[in-house]
Amino acid sequence: AQSVSQHNHHVILSEAASLELGCNYSYGGTVNLFWYVQYPGQHLQLLLKYFSGDPLVKGIKGFEAEFIKSKFSFNLRKPSVQWSDTAEYFCAVMRDSSYKLIFGSGTRLLVRP
């Protein structure tokens, strides 16, 4: 069965530190990849997405992610985090235009001022 793994469940950083959150998936075919963010008490918002083309994708709020097909990975990065980035981050994969979005278990990021 297809799965999505987020290896970091909790991450604590100080402001201005760099961030990288890992995401790996198990499906070998064509995939669409997403990162969503859920701020405390709020709904999920799309940070960025990859459908095709340049594997380095830039999203909102200074986030970017790189699709490495050979590693089945789609890691999220931000060079300098802010306190307002404190949230839960979800990686999600959709395969072969299936409509079905498979989510990872999420990474809780806490940024200390």
Smallest distance, another protein to C-beta of residue 36, A: 8
Contact 74, 85 (CB under 8 A): no
- Of 36 and 75, the one with the shorter C-beta distance to another protein is 36
- Of 19 and 102, the one with the shorter C-beta distance to another protein is 102
Tell me how far the alpha carbon of residue 107 is from its chain's centroid.
9
Burial of 1 (0-12, 13-18, 19+ CB in 10 A): exposed
- Of 70 and 97, the one with the shorter C-beta distance to another protein is 97
Smallest distance, another protein to C-beta of residue 86, A: 14
Dihedral, 96, 98, 100, 102 alpha carbons, nearest 10 = -10
- Of 17 and 108, the one with the shorter C-beta distance to another protein is 108
Contacting residues toward another protein, per CB under 8 A: 32, 34, 36, 38, 42-46, 49, 51, 88, 90, 94, 97-103, 105-106, 108
Smallest distance, another protein to C-beta of residue 80, A: 26
Please choose, from the candidates 13, 38, 19, the residue with its C-alpha nearest in 3D space to the C-alpha of residue 106. 38
